[in-house]
Structures are given as structure tokens and as C-alpha cells.
Amino acid sequence: MTAQAAANTDIEPQMQTMRGADIVVHALEAQGVKTVFGYPGGAIMPVYDALAGSSLKHVLCRHEQGAAFAAAGWSRMRGKAGVCIATSGPGATNLVTGIADAFMDSVPLVAITGQVDQAVMGTDAFQEIDTFGITMPVVKHSYIVRHTEDLPKVIAEAFRIAEEGRPGPVLIDIPKDVQNKEADVELFAPLDHTRAEADEEALAHAADVIMSAQKPLFYLGGGIVRAGAVDEVRALIEATGIPTVATLQAQGVLPTDHPQFMGMLGMHGSRSANLAVQEADLLIVMGARFDDRATGKIATFAPNARIVHFDRDVSEIGKLRDANVGVCGELDDCAKGLMSVKPAIQPWFDQCMASKAETPNRYDAPGEGVYAPRFLKELSEKAGDKFVGVADVGQHQMWIAQHCRFSRPQAHLTSGGLGTMGFSLPTGIGAKMAEPDATVVSISGDGGFMMNIQELATINRYKVPLKVVVIDNSRLGMVRQWQELFFDENYSEVDLSDNPDFAQVARAFGLEAFTIRRADEVSEGIDRLLNTEGPVFAHVVIDPAQNVWPLVPPGASNAEMMDED
């Protein structure tokens, strides 16, 4: 270990003789890990033997997918790699969805899996699977550890790779014989991360292009959050006075009630945000990747705009839309380098604000039933700046993004790239454990909730004071909406009217629970949800016919938004 690396930790480098499983635990401690999420099994049993009595807090989730999501939830809040552990075979394959979700959303994660003894690898041994091969497309890097003495270096490298540059998941597959063998080793401190230096000439060119624009618009992506550049980007936006739109993953980079914020763009974005993009003469793209859900038909996206694209991952610049100026570098440095830029755009700013004022969200839905957008708006506002909304996937996910107030990006955790149902409950557990003082609310639809419902047992075991909301329309709502609009109302396999009484189920798992069915029950129900100590469950019943608006139809331009009227 280098003197520089040793200086990054209080651990003194020294040779020690340890069993491989003990090395894993001590190496995790050397990286500053306090909490791991997992589920034991045969091929990882030596590591679980070493965990007992260690300083690490192990959280026993009730499914390996839950462990992966919980670790990623911890990571999304802290910005550091979360850790999940599973055995070989089905244990490893159950992690794959969570690993892939982290890969798509650039979340740092270290996944440790057991593997059968090397002597029987390749023989179709009991619970043997090629974990390395299966996960290769959805990890940033992966290891099969062949020698016990390599464990400290591999684990230190895994954390560095997971966290530096564009973050992502790293897999460490450890055969059982490597876990059981003793070796003389030296623990590694956290390794230094490299930073991408922005090209000063490109940055100066970008500044010139911004200064010459008459209708510039900031287009914010989740890369800002992963780069830890939120404060610098906020300061830049406010210094320039330029109107701003954000992707699903960038909600909260600029507070959603900020006067310069136009809203989310894309398929379910605000009308004013999408129209501003279509009229802008310059898009200042920071940490975004021109995802199809944000751009709609890419050939008609921002047709009048030049592109200045900032990203720490050079592969994203020009991948889907040619950039007039591309700047690869750390986004905080890029933002600082543009602080003197102040284009003269008052007419454009006034036009954007007028458009925003003309298209406010409406909350005056008729009837006695619960109107989901109004419920979510009130929930986030009553929770205040401590609110963290952990969305599952479906209609409620879009309502959360559209109607909740987010004071920071960590206030909005959602599965963006993979769109994984079952995301919310375990992710909420990890998020609450990472930030105990936050008001973390897991918000699921009835479809997604059933996919990881077993994690209610995890909440009960550890008394995680998570607020759990299930918005129940007895349908696979987003699929039903598309079948209504684009498949001639052929409602194929979306009926969930045989759902159980979710409040009763939650009580069976040991949680306090109640049901909200009418609009006049909403305010009192939200107060009960937020003021109850410990975990609490709210079952919110809504009309199955409620749709998410606006909507950009598939294959259409973002200017061609469908609405309820």
C-alpha cells in the first residue's frame, strides 16, 4: 500500500494472517463500510461466519433482490457505494435485477457473491452459475477472486471503480475455497479517485456559445447528482438567470418550486417544459444522456437548438445528438468555469415564465374519491424539506415526479433507466437507514408493491421507521392506460381486482396500518402517516380510470402532447 493511500485512513498497514472470509469483512471495514445488506447461503457461509461479531451491521432482507435495492437506496442517499451480499446460484441471479438497475442509473454498488469451490467450477455443481458471465453486461467491472491474498486489493479497487468517474456496480465473485483458505495479507485503505479535467479551450468555447444565445435553456440530468455537483450547478443556474428543465433523475437538482424551474421534460413532462425545449435556440445539457423518455422522437427534439453538452463520461457526448460543443470533465468544475456567463435573455425568460403560468397543474378533480396528484402534492408539502419520496414504477411514479415538491435530488429516488417494479419498498429501507432523520416515504402502486412485499418483514424486524404508501387502483395502471389509448381498450391481463386487503396484510407483518378511500380522509390520513412514530402503512384507494397527463404518444415529438381535455 502506498504512503498516499495509507494517509487516507486510520488503519495502519500491517501484514496479518487471516482466513479469506475474515479478510472480506476486515477489508470492508477498511473501506469505511458500516452497513451491508444480504441473505446467506451455502457458498457464502464462511463470510457470514466472519460477519458475526464484526463491526458491520448486516441487514437481513427477505429476498436477494431486496438486498440489492436496499444497498442501492443507501448509496443513492449517501453518494457512496452500498454493499449487498448473496450466495451462489439463485442467490446471485436474484441480485441481477438490482445490479442492472444500479447500472442503468449510474449508482455505485459493490455486490459480493459466493461461488462454489474452484475444484468443481465448470462441472454444473450444486448452485453453480456463471455469475461473472451473467452480470457482465450490467456491471462497471467484475472479479472472480482466485487467490485469497488478492482479496484486500480487489475489494479496495472495487470501491474505487464503483465510485469514481461515472459510478456503477462492481461484482466480486468469491469461490468458497478462497473464503476458507488462510493468507498473509495487508489491508488497503480507500484508494484515491481520479478526476476528469475539463478542456479549458472547450469550456471557453461553451461560454461564448451561451453568451450568444437568445433562447438558452438548461437541460439537467441525473449525472449532476452522481457527480456531487448539485451546489455548483444550482449556483450557475441562478447566476445566469437561464430557465431550466430536468429529467426524471434530476428532479430536485433545482428545487421544484424554484422560479427558474420549468418542470420535467419528456413523455410525462410539463407542457411548458416541453414547449420551451422545442423553441430554445440552445440547450445547455449537464449530465443528461438524451434518453428516449426525455426526448420523444429524437429527430424532432429541440429542432432549433444548438447543443452544449457537459458530462464526465465522454461516451455520452454526441451519442444520440451531435453536440456543437462537447466538454468532458467534472461537472462541478465545469459549472464553476461558467460562473461569469450572463446572457441578455430577459424577453425569453419572460416568455418562459408566462408559458409556465398559463399551464398550472390542476387539483380540482370532481367526485368524492382520492385524486392521486392532489394526495401526493399535499403529502410532500406537509413533510417539508425532510421529505424523501421513493417511487416504484407506473402511473404513481409519474404523478410523484409531476406533483411532489423536492428540495434536493435525494428527495426523489426512482428507477429511471430500467424502470423496475418492486423498487420502492427495499430502496426505501436502505434510504431510511442511510439518513435516519429524513422523512422517507415508500410510494408504490398495487402492482409493484406485490413484487417485493416480503420486505415488510425486514421493516418489522429492524423497526425501520419508514412510511409506506400503496396507491391501489386494482390495475396495472400504466399498462391499462396505454391499452386504453393505443390498443383499442383491449385490457389484457391488467386486472388486479383480487388484491388482498393491503392494510390487513401490513398489520399481519407487524406494522400499524390504515386505509384512505375518500378525499375528505386525505388530510387526516397524511397527518397520521407523518406523525406516527415507527413504521406505518397507508393503503390509498383510487379510481382505476385515473390517467397520467400530459402524455407524449410513442413516436411523436414532445410538442405533440396528449391531455385529458
Which residue is catalytic, options 1, 18, 31, 64? 64
Could you tell me if 503 and 514 are in contact, meaning their C-beta atoms sit under 8 angstroms apart? yes
127 catalytically annotated: yes
CB proximity list for 265: less than 8 A, separation 6 or greater: 219, 245, 246, 247, 273, 274, 277, 294, 558
Planar angle of CA 560, 562, 565, nearest 5 degrees: 135
Could you tell me if 247 and 353 are in contact, meaning their C-beta atoms sit under 8 angstroms apart? no
Could you tell me if 431 and 76 are in contact, meaning their C-beta atoms sit under 8 angstroms apart? yes
CB proximity list for 354: less than 8 A, separation 6 or greater: none
CB proximity list for 445: less than 8 A, separation 6 or greater: 392, 393, 394, 395, 396, 397, 470, 471, 472, 473, 477
Q: Amino acid letter at 507?
A: R
- Provide the greatest CA pair distance for the chain: 72
Scan for cell 405533440, then name that residue: 560
64 catalytically annotated: yes
Task: Provide the 3-class DSSP secondary structure of residue 204.
Answer: helix
**CA gap 3, 432 in Å, rounded:** 36
**CA gap 432, 400 in Å, rounded:** 18
Which residue is catalytic, options 126, 182, 486, 562? 126
188 catalytically annotated: no
Task: Name the grid cell of 289.
Answer: 444522456
DSSP state of 314: G
Torsion angle in degrees (nearest 10) through CA of 32, 35, 36, 40: 120
Could you tell me if 114 and 86 are in contact, meaning their C-beta atoms sit under 8 angstroms apart? yes
CB proximity list for 234: less than 8 A, separation 6 or greater: 253, 254
* CA 325 and chain centroid, separation: 28
176 catalytically annotated: yes
The kind and range of the H/E element at 328 are: strand 325-328
DSSP state of 249: G
Provide the b/e sequence for 317-339 (b: ≥16 CB within 10 Å): beeebebebbbbbbbbbbbbbbe
Which residue is catalytic, options 29, 45, 121, 127? 127
Could you tell me if 335 and 205 are in contact, meaning their C-beta atoms sit under 8 angstroms apart? no
Which residue is catalytic, options 140, 153, 176, 467? 176
**CA gap 555, 565 in Å, rounded:** 21
Could you tell me if 408 and 252 are in contact, meaning their C-beta atoms sit under 8 angstroms apart? yes
Which residue is catalytic, options 286, 451, 478, 561? 478
402 catalytically annotated: no
Catalytic residues: 64, 126-127, 176, 478
